[in-house]
A and B are shown apart, each in its own frame.
Chain A
Amino acid sequence: MALLEVRDLSITFHRKGEEPSVAVDNISFNVEPGQTVGLVGESGCGKSVTSLAIMGLLPSRGAKVGGSVTFEGEELLGLSQRELDERRGRDLGMVFQDPLSSLNPVVPIGLQISEVLERHRKLGRKEAKAEAAELLNRVGIPDPKRRLDEYPHQLSGGMRQRALIAIALACRPRLLIADEPTTALDVTIQAQILSLLSELVSGTDTALIMITHDLGVVAGLCDEVNVMYGGRIVERAQRHALFAEPRHPYTHGLLASIPRLDAPRGEKLVPIRGSVVDNIAWSRGCAFAPRCPSQLEECWSDPPELVDDRGGMLRCHNPVEVAPMAAEGAR
């Protein structure tokens, strides 16, 4: 049994005076214990909303969630907030994008960690504080005892994100969701945080869902990658397969637009043309069609289905046949 099973998850926002908007459209994926799964796609494709739905953190009003999310066999979507509170922080942990705004500015770092321990592991004040120092040490914050009494604004951006990771991992959750944990950080810090995350989850049975718009982040971390576009999964593959031979034109475009160390000198990065605003509705055809270099006529009238493809899944009428490197060579 998978640790987490997401089946046909749909999320629709209803706002007064506006048409309901579908942010996530029937997506399904599994996460096995200890596995690291990537959720990749550009801004607005529904990554954060998916993670919030799993955590039960979507606004209760205005957001309609359909489908099913089971965690260790238990359906999460029907649970009350009170029942979810027993799971959140203990079995499910989450790291957010912006560490400054995600930490309470008027509560000391130590307490923000130890309160999770007090809540779920029923530790006393003192033990929880000692454990919090230990956790800060584990996530690589020097002089943890002193840091316990400091406030978020006294820490650097990287240290804040380390503290958030310490909070999320405090109770050794079975699943950690990291939603663009490095986007708000300096480039040099980004790599440190990523290697910290992989170090903390590898060799444990904590599974990780890594959410990012950056395939480069996925490269060193994920076992399996789901590529999302316009609220749907368009390609799923093992990491090596995805990088060696991306099948979906969107994935292909994403790969071509990240800098690579092994790329020939002078190679230009090719961004995907257009932007999400060009999307057409999935009900009419392929949402990516207006931007797709491989588009066929049928792409504009016949929505592609997600089907098995070379050990992964693919949603495309005209998949890419050659790897980007090979394509480079041929030019």
Chain B
Amino acid sequence: MLQLALVVVVLSVLIFGWLRMLPGGPVSALLGDRGTAESRAELTEALGLNDPIFVQYFAFLGRAITGDFGTSTGVSPGKPAMELFLERFPATLELSIAAILLALIFAIPLGYLAARRRGGWLDNAGVVGSMIGISIPIFFLAFLLKYFLSIKLGWLPTGGRQSPDIDATRITGFFVLDGVLTREWDAAWDALRHLLLPAVALASIPFAVIFRITRASVLDVLDEDYVRTARSKGLTRRIIRDRHILRNAMLPVVTTVGLQTGALLSGAVLTETVFSWQGIGQALAIGFERKDFAVLQVVIIAAAMAYVLVNLIVDLSYAVIDPRIRSAQKVS
């Protein structure tokens, strides 16, 4: 918890100062070329940008503690930044969870099989594929998917989260889940179709990284003495795989999944932009363009908190899987 508070404070200082050092502030973004000298001065004063930066910072901090992160000036002018964030956050969460699930579901079994059949065609294909997955710019991949599968072939929607002609009931803000909960199956199916391509695009890097870690980790574990012991016991293949190989091989994978959540946000900025996905990634992209300080601050701080939280959960689950860590923690 202390860790979390520290991260938030340091990060808020950095982001706050950095934004104000960027050329062209919200005033130019809002007024463009049309602004006269007076109107610029007026707006600057109104936004409180004339005060010394530390005064601005402490004013920001004071309000932020009460949940007030200021008002959006660019993404959705006039709307409280916090409200905007809360509105958009479920969209990004839904997309990220879908992407991580996709990555896990494919990367772990494939990584395992590639290691077991080292040097076989699946292994070679997987290694090359994951190299492409890591190196292909996510923006380009998202665009390719959209161009071929949505625009050319028309199989899937080109953007958004739900077709406009569908009147869905909202409960959680996760559109697919909402459709399932309310048994509005057409809405769930429609939301799923919207989700598929952005999720695939966003999954590409985590998939590639998790595949490689799984493969390398399984290869290591296969050489371990305890796997030989398991085989000397004549155990079934399934038990050797699940209990003796995978349970050990998953340890580094768990850490990687935590670290990958950080990469997800930067991926989401690009993916959401290409697929007009109304999440915080898109808000971040627009916010930068229009120098929307309030929105940028709340999104970046919240994203950092989410990242720290996820890695906290990873540490905890690590202790659940690895008894050696558990007893080390008990001692300390």
Interface residues of A (CB under 8 A from B): 55, 57, 84-90, 92-94, 96, 98, 101-108, 111, 115-116, 119-120, 151, 153-154, 164, 167-168
CA distance A164 to B224 in the complex (A): 16
CB-nearest residue of chain B to A86: B234
- B34 within 8 Å of A (CB atoms): no
B151 within 8 A of A: no
- Interchain CA distance A84-B324 in the complex, whole Å: 33
Residues of A within 8 A of B289 (CB): none
User: Cβ of B324: which chain A residues have Cβ within 8 Å of it?
Assistant: 105-106, 151, 153
Q: Which residues of A contact B229 (CB under 8 A)?
A: 94, 96, 102-104, 164, 167
- Residue from the list B232, B321, B323 in contact with A57, Cβ < 8 A: B232
> Can you report 8 A-B residue pairs in the complex whose CB atoms are below 8 A from each other?
A93-B232, A101-B224, A102-B226, A104-B244, A106-B251, A115-B233, A120-B234, A154-B327
Residue tally, chain B, CB below 8 Å to A: 23
Is B243 interfacial (CB 8 A cutoff)? yes
Bound complex: CA A92 to CA B233 (Å): 8
In angstroms, how far is the closest chain A Cβ from the Cβ of B68? Answer: 47
Instruction: Please indicate the chain B residues that have their CB under 8 angstroms from the CB of A167 in the complex.
Output: 229, 233
Assess the B321–A104 pair: CB atoms within 8 A.
no
B243 and A88 within 8 A (CB):
no
- Contact partner of A98 (CB less than 8 A), chosen from B225, B235, B236, is B225
Q: Residues of A contacting B230 with CB < 8 Å?
A: 104
Further pairs besides A119-B233, A151-B323: 12, Cβ < 8 Å: A86-B234, A87-B234, A96-B229, A101-B224, A102-B226, A102-B228, A103-B229, A104-B226, A104-B229, A115-B235, A115-B239, A119-B239
Closest residue on chain A to residue B235 by CB atoms: A119
Closest to A113 in B: B233
Inter-chain contacts of A154 with B (CB < 8 A): 327
Does B79 count as interface, using CB distance less than 8 angstroms? no
Determine if B247 is an interface residue (Cβ-Cβ < 8 Å): yes
B238 to chain A, nearest CB (A): 11
In the bound complex, what is the Cα–Cα distance between A105 and B250 (angstroms)?
13
Flag if A84 contacts B234 (CB, 8 Å).
Answer: yes
Closest CB of chain B to A258's CB: distance in Å? 28
Query: How would residues 212 to 246 of chain B score, 1 for a CB under 8 Å from any chain A CB and 0 otherwise?
Result: 00000000000011101111111110010001100
Q: Is B247 touching A57 in the complex (CB atoms < 8 A)? A: no
CB pair B226–A105 under 8 Å, yes or no, is yes
Q: Is B260 an interface residue (CB 8 A)?
A: no
Chain A residue with the shortest CB-CB distance to B323:
A151
Q: Which residues of B are found within 8 Å of A107, using beta-carbon distances?
A: 243-244, 247
**B322 within 8 Å of A by Cβ?**
yes
Q: Is the CB of A106 within 8 A of B231?
A: no
Q: A104-B248, A106-B248, A107-B247 are in contact. Are A88 and B323 (CB under 8 A)?
A: no
Give every chain B residue within 8 A of A96 (Cβ-Cβ): 225, 228-229, 232
Contact in complex: B234, A106 (CB < 8 Å): no
Residues in B neighbouring A87, C-beta threshold 8 A: 234
Cα of A105 to Cα of B225 in the assembled complex, Å: 11
Q: Which residue of B lies closest to A149 (CB)?
A: B323
- A55, A106, A116: the one contacting B322 at CB < 8 Å is A106
Report the nearest B residue to A93, measured CB to CB: B232
List the 3 closest A-B pairs by CB distance, nearest first.
A88-B234, A89-B234, A89-B233
Q: Could you tell me the distance between the alpha carbons of A46 and B247 in the complex, rounded to whole angstroms?
A: 32
- The CA-CA distance from A98 to B231 in the complex, in Å, is 16
Instruction: Report Cα–Cα, A21/B232, bound state, in Å.
Output: 25
Provide the residues of chain A in CB contact with B327, threshold 8 Å.
151, 153-154
Q: Closest A residue to B233 by CB, please name it.
A: A89
A104 touches B243 (CB 8 A): yes
List of A residues within 8 angstroms of B323 by Cβ? 105-106, 108, 151, 153
Which residues of B, 316-332, contact A by the 8 Å Cβ criterion? 321-324, 327
Given A105-B226, A106-B322 in contact, is the A90-B243 Cβ separation under 8 Å?
no
Give the most central of A103, A106, A120: most B CB within 10 Å. Answer: A106
Decide: A105 and B243 in contact? CB cutoff 8 A. Answer: no
Contact of A90 among B234, B236, B248, B251 (CB under 8 A): B234
A116 touches B226 (CB 8 A): no
- By a CB distance below 8 angstroms, the chain B residues around A103 are 226, 229
**Which residue on chain A has the smallest CB distance to residue B119?**
A61
